[in-house]
Structure 1
Amino acid sequence: MIDPKYSQLLFTFLMALFMSGVMSLVITLYNIGLVDGIVMIWLEAWLFAFVVAFPVINLVLPIVRRLVTLLVKRPPERDKA
C-alpha cells in the first residue's frame, strides 16, 4: 500500500490520468472521427495530454480549493451552551 503522505499526489496523478484519457479520446474522435489507426493517434494524444495535465492539476489545486472555500456557504455556527 502507498503511504498516506502521498495521497494528494496519488489523487492528482489518477485525476490527470483519467481526465486526460477521456478528454483526449473525445477531442480526437471529434476532430478526426473513427479513422484507421485511431487507437495509436489517441494514445499519443493521451500521453501528451497527461504530461500537461499532471503538473497543471498540481499547480491549480490549491487555487481551486481556496475558490471552493470562498464560494461554498458555511453552515451556521451553533451556540455552545
Structure 2
Amino acid sequence: MIPKRFEFVVFGLVLSGLMSFLVSGIATARTTGLVESFPGLWIGAWLTSWLVAFPAVLVVAPIARRLVHRLIRQD
C-alpha cells in the first residue's frame, strides 16, 4: 500500500487520469467520429492529455480548494 503522505499525489493521478480519459474520448469522437482507428486515436490523445492534466491538477487543486472554502458558508 501507498503511505498516507502521498494521498494528494495519488488522488491527483487518479482524478487526472479518469477526467482526461473521458474528455479525450469525447473530443476524439467528435473530431473523428467512431471510425475503425478510434480506440488507438483515443488512447494517443488520452496519454498526451494525461501528461498535461496530472501536473495541472497538482497545481490547481489547492487553488480550487481555497476558492471553494471562501464560497462556502461556515456554520
**Paired amino acid for 1:5:** R
Could you say which residue in structure 2 is the equivalent of 1:68? 68
User: In angstroms, what is the RMSD of aligned CA positions?
Assistant: 0.6
- Gaps of at least 5 residues in structure 1 are 76-81
The number of aligned residues is 75
TM-score by length of 2: 0.97
TM-score by length of 1: 0.90
- Are 2:35 and 1:35 equivalent residues in the alignment? yes
Q: CA deviation at 1:3?
A: 0.4
- Are 2:20 and 1:20 equivalent residues in the alignment? yes
In 2: Cα distance, 1:31 partner to 1:72 partner: 38
Could you say which residue in structure 2 is the equivalent of 1:78? none
In 1: Cα distance, 2:44 partner to 2:60 partner: 24
Q: CA deviation at 1:46?
A: 0.2
Q: Larger Rg: 1 or 2?
A: 1
Between Structure 1 and Structure 2, which shows a larger proportion of helix residues? Answer: 2
Between the aligned residues of both structures, percent identity stands at 35
